[in-house]
Amino acid sequence: MEMSAVLYQELNFVCINPRQQQGPGQMQALVLGFQPSRVLNLKAMHDTNVSAVISESSKQRVPHVLSVAGSDSGAGAGIQADLKTCAARGVYCSTVVTAVTAQNTVGVQGVNIVPERFVSEQLKSVLSDMHVTVVKTGMLPTVGIVEVLYDSLKQFPVQALVVDPVMVSTSGDVLAGPSILDIFREQLLPMADIVTPNLKEASALLGGIKLQTVSDMRSAAKSIHEMGPRNVLVKGGDLPAASDAVDIFFDGLEFFELRSLRIQTQNSHGTGCTLASCIAAELAKGSQMLPAVRAAKHYVETALDYSKDIHIGNGLQGPFDHLCKLKTNVQNSSRLQRFDPDDLLLYAVTDSKMNSKWGRSITDAVKAAIEGGATIVQLREKDTETSNFLEEARKCLEVCRSHGVPMLINDRVDIALACDADGVHVGQSDMPAHVARSLLGPKKIIGVSCKTREHAHQAWVDGADYIGSGGVYSTNTKANNSTIGLDGLKTVCLASKLPVVAIGGIGLSNAGSVAEIGLENLKGVAVVSALFDRECIRSEARKLHTLVSQTMKTSAVTC
């Protein structure tokens, strides 16, 4: 009963009908029957309820996928794949375990089915409390478990149901018997918003017919759609003689042929689970069905391509990296995790025109500079197309990481993000350092070019790690670049709260003079033509490293 109705009943104790005569005793009884404290308590109750409603409405609902599937001890498929996929797509994932498997990259060694009663208990626990948006199913090994799921979804409806009819693992192991096919057709498929069978599963659902062509897949999608699901995705990853990965999507009206690059890799365990859980994640975020399927297909392709060379296990079918982080973590282990100002000692800045002049690749030039003693590398490739720049940056990064030398990208935050470089260096006319920081995160290195005290102060405010000050001398590598000289360099160093690297026209003839200024936060020199416009980069780097390091040590002792 609403508060206003209850309050009205309370006030009725003192409402007097003007047409009805009331005696003094009756009047007194009515007045005495009115309880102000109770009305106040009701008002307080009302205010509390209103506050609770407002508080509840102000909470942000998180997209939530519930995975009802089997556990894979090797963590490539099943519940584990679903958890990783949803994490990668920014969606919360809860789980109901239907079976516990013993499996690895060789195959499935054992299956222990969870009792139906306990599956039911898990479903009730999650669905009754946690505001599930989408349910995604994987391994449902018994008729009883399918029935339990069906009853639970009737009691606790969700926005969408994604059915991955797991019957045979990618490695060929049977995970569900033929007895559940009828219950799938009769109960689960009519409830599904999409079903995602591979060729073997589609064949099983259709009584064993062979699917060998794209035309067969279209017919199968239409036949399965007639069983009740609103959408069907027949996956053609195992299609014989197909040059690319083709899937057929059918929404009851139109067919869509979805093609992507076929990734040549053994690390494909769990692709079906991953695709279905990614579809569920995109639906939970509010996507329509076809865009969700396209996004999922692209995600799987990207993860497979990233993971094609990793090695986990001794079997013929390994897992892939859902988060696309494993190779980065291996590379990161060979370098320092924090910026070290001493890395600025010999700062090598590449130049594509100089490398072309001497007929060498950027990678070869970087490798030679590091072998000669360069302590940090910046790729400054103004004339290289983006796709080529990204490819070269990735190659250079491998070289730098193998030697424990940080690699930065000049100006191009997009390239730095795409290749996972150690940071960026930006100029005064480029993206502000604080914006670059927000994009790259707290662990990346950010440097800023500075000519004045004001520039140096702003770089510190914006969260830069170091500044590059110059040009100290005139240079041909940057047009219309005014010089600040040694005095200007000293002024910036004295004003800066950050480490400083001197840049501009510095080579063997004048690097000693720069290093001799003896200020504590001047940590090194940046060189371009003095390295890369020379016949032997390695020997020039060695000479510069020796000169700068010895001069700075001498200046530090003198000061």
Could you give the residue numbers annotated as active site? 380, 449, 478
Find out whether the peptide bond into 471 is cis, omega within 30 degrees of 0: yes
Render 318-364 in DSSP notation, one character per residue. -B--TTS-HHHHHHHTTS-SS--GGGGSEEEE--HHHHHHTT--HHH
Cα 59 to chain center, whole Å?
A: 24
423: β partners: 408, 445
Taking the C-alpha atoms of residue 158 and residue 150, their distance in angstroms, rounded to an integer, is: 12
Amino acid in the structure at residue 230: R
Residue 423 phi, psi dihedral angles, 5° rounding: 165, -165
Kind plus residue range of the DSSP H or E element containing 386: helix 386-403
3-state DSSP of 112-178:
EECCHHHHHHHHHHHHCCCCCCEEEEEECCCHHHHHHHHHHHHHCCCCEEEEEEECECCCCCECCCC
Amino acid in the structure at residue 188: L
- Give the relative orientation of helices 3-11 and 36-58 as an angle to the nearest 10 degrees: 170
- Which residue carries 């960026």 as its tokens? 424
Cα 34 to chain center, whole Å?
A: 63
Question: How many angstroms separate the Cα of 18 from the Cα of each of 7, 10, 21, 471?
Answer: 21, 19, 7, 97
168: β partners: 174
Taking the C-alpha atoms of residue 113 and residue 116, their distance in angstroms, rounded to an integer, is: 9
Spatial CB neighbours of 386, under 8 Å, sequence gap ≥ 6: 414, 415
